[in-house]
Amino acid sequence: MAFWMDQVTRGWLIYELTDSTVQLGLVRGVQAIPILFLSPIAGSAADRYSRKTQILIAQIIDGAMFGALAILIFAGQIQPWHVYVTAFAMACVQTFQQPARAAIIGDVVPREGLTNAIGLNSIIFNVARSTGPALAGVLIVAFGTGGAFATQAIFYFLATYWTLRLHAAAASGAGGRPGHTDSFAASIVEGWKFSWRNLEVRTALLVVMFASLLIVPFTTLLPVFARDILDVGASGQGFLLTAMGIGALGSAMMIATFGDRMPRGLFMLGGVALYGLGVVAFAASPWFQLSMALMIIVGFANVCSHALVQTVIQSYSPAEFRGRSIALFHMSQVVMTLGSMAIGSLAALCGTEWAVILMAAAGTLAMLAIHFALPQAWRIR
């Protein structure tokens, strides 16, 4: 809930403070540096140490920073640099949290149930995705961004309480695993080599990187669509993300139900292509109701492809490489951040709608390029 609320709250706050589309991209851009440099270390740490401990530390720090932002806003002392500094710090801790959180699933679920388990995980994630943005919009209207950040802090501390109750044996699959006597640097390079040499993992990583660079960044400009194009304000932005979450939830339920019976390669590439086309249509829509419907399609295609990419990476990565492979998967956030910076700058040059249309169309064409360059990608199971 807190994560998805932040997609609305942080963007709305920086746009409120600066009225700049470029800074909407930059506030995501500052998150690229820690993800870029720390993801390889985080992946190795998830393969060496207790994944539960990494998750707990990250959640406590995140909750504290959300609380600090709320205090600064209520005190009338908030400045743009506060938003940037906390975005950078949160990117650091979340970089260590993400591979540990994702790899835990593979620790406790047999391989034949992994697709279903990741689908169930996506259901929970997307229930929050469908309600969190709307809640953030309502709280911003009622109590300002300070009220939204305070609620996000509470949610993180609740998540920490429930993580503490997670059985230690279920979260210690990485910690204490033998065979990690080599250095962190050697371990990182070993993980990179494995991910590149394995055809299925390499293909999945290429799919998610192109999507993250060219299509996903359109959400950076949602405050502009909500306030200046569709004229629906902060609550309208929340409902747009909620519609996206509803589509994502439907996709997650489909994956959880059908599991390994789904052709993963087909849904990976086709899902991203549909995602790009849906975003193009959204950018061209002048009506809020149509935009809501298109966001449902966008959410469905996004999660369908995203969840299956993650399933392919986990399925084709042995346990001793899983943390490092997932860390490379999460480095797509670096690419997404670069895309956010690019789309913010492009919007300043040619307008918000055209910036989104051009980049999303390029993302769809990239899936066609992968199909022709790696025709076996469609046959990945």
The tens digit of pLDDT for each residue in 17-28 reads 888 877 877 877
Q: What is the pLDDT of residues 245-259, one digit of tens each?
A: 788 878 877 877 776
Q: Give the highest mean pLDDT range of 158-172, 216-230, 323-337.
A: 216-230
DSSP line for 224-267: HIIIIIS--HHHHHHHHHHHHHHHHHHHHHHHHHHGGGS-HHHH
CA-based nearest residue to 285, from 273, 298, 274? 298
Q: What is the mean pLDDT of residues 178-200?
A: 74
pLDDT at residue number 175: 46
pLDDT at residue number 322: 75
User: What b/e sequence results for 291-310 when a residue is b if at least 16 CB atoms lie within 10 Å of its CB, and e otherwise?
Assistant: bbbbbbbbbbbbbbbbbbbb
Half-sphere exposure of 72 (CA within 13 A, CB side): 16
Nearest 10 degrees: CA dihedral of 198, 200, 205, 210?
130
Residue 42 — pLDDT band, cuts 50, 70, 90? Answer: confident
Cβ within 8 Å of residue 82, ≥6 positions away: 69, 72
Is 0.75 surpassed by the pTM of this model? no
- Could you give the CA distance from residue 132 to residue 368 in angstroms, rounded to a whole number? 34
Question: What domains does the chain contain, in order, with CATH numbers?
Answer: 2-168+185-376 (1.20.1250.20)
Cβ within 8 Å of residue 380, ≥6 positions away: 200, 203, 204, 263, 264, 265, 268, 312
- Could you give the CA distance from residue 161 to residue 177 in angstroms, rounded to a whole number? 26
Q: What is the pLDDT of residues 335-376, one digit of tens each?
A: 887 888 888 889 889 888 999 999 999 999 998 888 888 777
- Residue matched to tokens 């895309």: 339
Comparing 205 with 198, the larger pLDDT belongs to: 205
Tokens of 311: 């399933």
